[in-house]
């Protein structure tokens, strides 16, 4: 009899961007390119609600959302989720904001748009890879 394999649930990523076409496109590309569950939100309030209801393993967050900045959203997530805040990846078309986020401890990474699907998948997988705890 073959031992039962331990099946891990897929990882979840939240794509937060007020540009609906961009958010939906990135969500669709990630669904095709990797085995992550993908949620999409179009503003900070919706993103925060989704993060509370369906905690993601990572968040791809635009820094220039209509209703507030990505920095403000990061603060709100920290307050709402406490120590359970997933890695936040800043994504922006503004090089100055990308540089600012790259030096901000709230963000695990800061990317300049457009990021390739391969780059996003590699980044997401790297954020959740944990060292092998069974190793001697």
Residue-level pLDDT, tens digit, the chain, 136 residues: 555 554 556 899 999 999 999 999 999 999 999 888 999 999 999 999 999 999 999 999 999 987 689 999 999 999 988 878 899 999 999 999 999 999 999 999 999 988 888 999 999 989 887 544 444 4
Residue 109 lies in a domain: yes
Q: Which of 68, 117, 58, 118 is nearest to 90 (CA)?
A: 58
Instruction: Read off the pTM.
Output: 0.85
How many domains, in total, are found in the chain?
A: 1
Domain region containing 46: 16-75+96-125
Residue 64 lies in a domain: yes
Q: What is the pLDDT of residue 67?
A: 67
Structure tokens of 108?
A: 């695990």
Strands 37-41 vs 12-16: parallel, antiparallel or unpaired: parallel
d(CA 16, CA 43): 7
Q: Which residues contact 103 (CB under 8 A, 6 or more apart)?
A: none
d(CA 46, CA 102): 24
CATH code for the domain in which residue 43 is found: 3.40.50.2300
């Amino acid at each position: 009899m073959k031992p039962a394999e331990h099946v891990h649930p897929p990882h979840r990523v939240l794509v937060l961007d007020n540009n609906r076409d961009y958010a939906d496109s990135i969500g669709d590309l990630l669904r095709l390119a990797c085995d992550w569950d993908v949620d999409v939100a179009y503003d900070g309030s919706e993103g925060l609600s989704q993060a509370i209801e369906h905690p993601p393993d990572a968040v791809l967050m635009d820094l220039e959302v209509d209703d507030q900045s990505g920095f403000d959203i990061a603060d709100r997530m920290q307050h709402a989720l406490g120590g359970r805040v997933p890695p936040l990846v800043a994504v922006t078309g503004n090089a100055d904001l990308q540089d600012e986020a790259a030096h901000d401890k709230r963000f695990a990474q800061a990317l300049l748009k457009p990021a390739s699907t391969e780059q996003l998948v590699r980044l997401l997988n790297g954020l959740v890879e944990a060292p092998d705890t069974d190793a001697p």
